[in-house]
């Protein structure tokens, strides 16, 4: 297993659109294991392959307190979203130390492949629904700060650029 470097906003690679996985093979299983290790280490509750500069439709999520209930979504598709919307405070490992509210559908149904390449569909609400939608945005090249005002986005961008310069 390996820890993978996480891209930070405003890295343009975060805007790459991920391609579908053609075959769930050992290489994909290794990517999932490395992504899970990276998410647990960060620590985070989710991670999309885009964030580790791999442009394939792979997501890992673990919302459990004991960090032992990994959920893997390969080629995820939202098949239904509720009309009801909800605001949640979101964070992102690619936008360290910033949290802000985003409005999204309160419930979604998502269809995906699991680690064995088997199709499954789940209905999600609460934080799982938020996290799935947030991670699926990453696969489409969208970072949650793009839901915020351009002023907030510019402030975040310049703070993170400054932080990156100081880290050199
Ligand atoms: O996509 C990511 O960068 C992961 C992100 C997922 C997420 C969090 C909150 C709302 C929507 C999506 C994170 O994991 S940010 C870190 C975080 O929320 C957290 C970290 C440790 C413990 C609990 C939460
Ligand atoms: Zn994120």
Q: What is the pLDDT of residues 82-120, one digit of tens each?
A: 999 999 999 999 999 999 999 999 999 999 999 999 999
Ligand 1 lining (C-beta closer than 6 Å): 43-48, 51, 90-94, 130-131, 134-135
3-state DSSP call for residue 154?
helix
Query: Alpha-carbon distance 168 to 166, whole Å?
Result: 6
168: confidence class by pLDDT, cuts 50, 70, 90: confident
Do 45 and 83 form a contact (C-beta atoms < 8 A)? Answer: no
Tell me the per-residue pLDDT of 30-53, one tens digit each, with 9 for 90 and over.
999 999 999 999 999 999 999 999
- Which residues are marked as active site? 135
143: confidence class by pLDDT, cuts 50, 70, 90: very high
pTM score, whole prediction: 0.97
Query: Alpha-carbon distance 89 to 66, whole Å?
Result: 22
């Amino acid at each position: 297993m390996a820890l993978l470097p996480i891209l930070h906003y405003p890295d343009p690679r975060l805007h790459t659109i991920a391609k579908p996985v053609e075959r769930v093979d050992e290489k994909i299983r290794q990517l999932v294991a490395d992504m899970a290790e990276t998410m647990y280490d960060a620590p985070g509750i989710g991670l999309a392959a885009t964030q580790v500069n791999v442009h394939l439709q792979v997501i890992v999520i673990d919302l459990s307190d004991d960090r032992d209930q990994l959920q893997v979504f390969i080629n995820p598709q939202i098949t239904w979203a509720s009309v009801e919307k909800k605001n949640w405070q979101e964070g992102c490992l690619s936008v360290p130390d910033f949290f802000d509210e985003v409005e999204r559908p309160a419930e979604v149904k998502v269809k995906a492949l699991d680690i064995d390449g088997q199709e499954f569909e789940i209905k999600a609400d609460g934080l799982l629904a938020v996290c799935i939608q947030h991670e699926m945005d990453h696969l489409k090249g969208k970072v949650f700060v793009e839901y915020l005002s351009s002023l907030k986005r510019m402030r975040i961008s310049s703070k993170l650029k400054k932080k990156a310069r100081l880290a050199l």
